Amino acid sequence: MLENLAEFIAWGLCIFGAIAYFFRRFGNYEWNTKLALKLVEAHRWFGRVFVFGLQGLIIFAIIDNFGFTK
């Protein structure tokens, strides 16, 4: 169940990153500088939280699959 949630979060992170990249690359910086920088910073922090959460999920999956078999 958590793997499915992680997959949806990963897709959201990719789409959010594409939007942040678009605003950073093609945005009108005269008016949208703060918006572009906020999107990039939010994407960076969301990605860090996701990576740390995914590491915990991988450890949990390994323990769940192999840790309790005897």
Chunked into runs of 10 residues, the chain (70 residues) has average pLDDT values of: 75 83 74 75 85 80 69
At residue 21, the pLDDT reads 81
31 contacts 24 by C-beta, under 8 angstroms:
no
**How many angstroms separate the CA atoms of 53 and 70, rounded?**
28
The structure tokens listed for 2 are 């958590």
At residue 32, the pLDDT reads 65
At residue 70, the pLDDT reads 54
At residue 68, the pLDDT reads 64
Residue 21 to residues 16, 39, 58: CA-CA distances in angstroms?
9, 9, 28
